[in-house]
Structure 1
Amino acid sequence: MSVLPLVFTSGWASGVNAYAVVLLLGLFGSTGLSDEVPATLQRPEVLITAGVLFLCEAVADKIPYVDSAWDTVHTAIRPAAGAWVGALLAGQSASMPELAAGALGGGTALASHAVKAGTRMAVNASPEPFSNILLSLAEDLGVAGIVTFAIFHPEVAAIIAGVLLLLGLVVLVFLVSRIRRFWRRRARRREERRMAAGARAGPAPPA
């Protein structure tokens, strides 16, 4: 059976929460629920590291502005994780070239990461924190659900991931104005902090 649907789905999920993908796939493999999971993802040190980082992301993802800073740091990490997982899955099944699987997983992860990061910027334009928490929970549950579903029904899960990615990109286009407002607010806050620091310092002493 081709591993292509699982690579695509894991790539989409990695763009949202890469640590959850590694943790879930590793657990499915180590418990014998799937033969598609490479041994590398089942190693205890990989599972422990992914679990700890998943908990860190679960907290950071629910705090306004901290979530966007976290997303910025993970602009390179999530696509790299998607490419790594995709290449491992392809190597395990030998049904498609590892390089192609890595490119597909990484590219899909980059696209879904852009949707997530852009959506978070738009959400941060609102003053209340509850939307961040709800969105983060929805993302966590969505990743867990679709990765689990992909283990047993990879083709259907890939279709769902494709639809979610397409819808996310469409929504992102409509959120551009909110994203611009987010960056303007950040720039204004930096300017206010700079002016406040200058006021506290007081005028320079005469020469």
Structure 2
Amino acid sequence: MSVLPLIFTAGWASGINAYAVVFLLGVFGRIGWAEDVPPGLERTDVLVAAGALFLIEAVADKVPYLDSFWDAVHTVVRPASGAVVSALIAGQDDSLPTLFAAAVGGTTALASHIVKAGTRMAINTSPEPASNIVVSTVEDLGVGAVLTLAVFFPVLAAVIAGVLLVVGLWVVYLCASRIRRYLRRRRERREARGAAVLG
């Protein structure tokens, strides 16, 4: 069976939390749950690094405004991680060209990263921090659940990831005015800091 559903799901999950994807796939491969996991992801040093970075992200992702800064930094990291993980998975299987797999994983990761970053900007227009914590926790649990499902039922997981991606893009579109408001506030704060330094 083609690994394309697993690649799509891993790409979607990478756009939300790339470190969780590397860590979970590595653990699943290590304990024998998933045959398509590349040995490189199962290495102890990779698991330790991914686990540590996941914990850092789990904290940073729940702090208002810090989460959007973290997302900006990871605009390159998440799609690149999705592409690399997908290429490594395809390298374990002859049913899919590696370059195509990398393109699918990277593009899907970029799209889900846009959803994540966009919804966070919209949420950050609200003054209370609880929504950040709730959304971040739901994202972490969702990535874990869908990625685990992908190990046992890859097609079903890919369908769920696809639906979540489409719904997320629609939500970002609906929240466009709140996102613009967040970007305007950020620009005004930056300009005020610049004026204070010059003054």
- Normalised by the length of structure 1, the TM-score is 0.93
Matched, 1:51 2:51: yes
1:98, 1:126 → 2: CA distance?
43
Which residue in the other structure is 2:155 paired with? 155
Which residue in the other structure is 2:174 paired with? 174
Number of residue equivalences: 199
Matched, 1:3 2:3: yes
- C-alpha displacement at 1:135, in angstroms? 0.5
Which residue in the other structure is 1:116 paired with? 116
Deviation digits for residues 43-67 of structure 1, max 9, x if unmatched?
1111011001001100100011110
1:79, 1:192 → 2: CA distance?
33
Secondary structure of the equivalent of 1:58? helix
Deviation digits for residues 87-118 of structure 1, max 9, x if unmatched?
11111122100110000000000000001001
Identity %: 63
Which residue in the other structure is 2:133 paired with? 133
1:102, 1:190 → 2: CA distance?
37
Secondary structure of the equivalent of 1:94? coil
2:145, 2:14 → 1: CA distance?
13
1:29, 1:190 → 2: CA distance?
45
Gaps of 5+ in 1: 202-207
After TM superposition, which residue ranges in structure 1, 4 or more long, deviate above 3 angstroms? Answer: 191-198
Rg larger for: 1
Question: What CA RMSD, in Å, does the superposition of the two structures yield over aligned residues?
Answer: 1.1
1:156, 1:7 → 2: CA distance?
13
- C-alpha displacement at 1:192, in angstroms? 3.4
Which residue in the other structure is 1:20 paired with? 20
Which residue in the other structure is 1:86 paired with? 86
Deviation digits for residues 119-173 of structure 1, max 9, x if unmatched?
1001001111110000000000000000000000000000000000000111110
- Normalised by the length of structure 2, the TM-score is 0.97
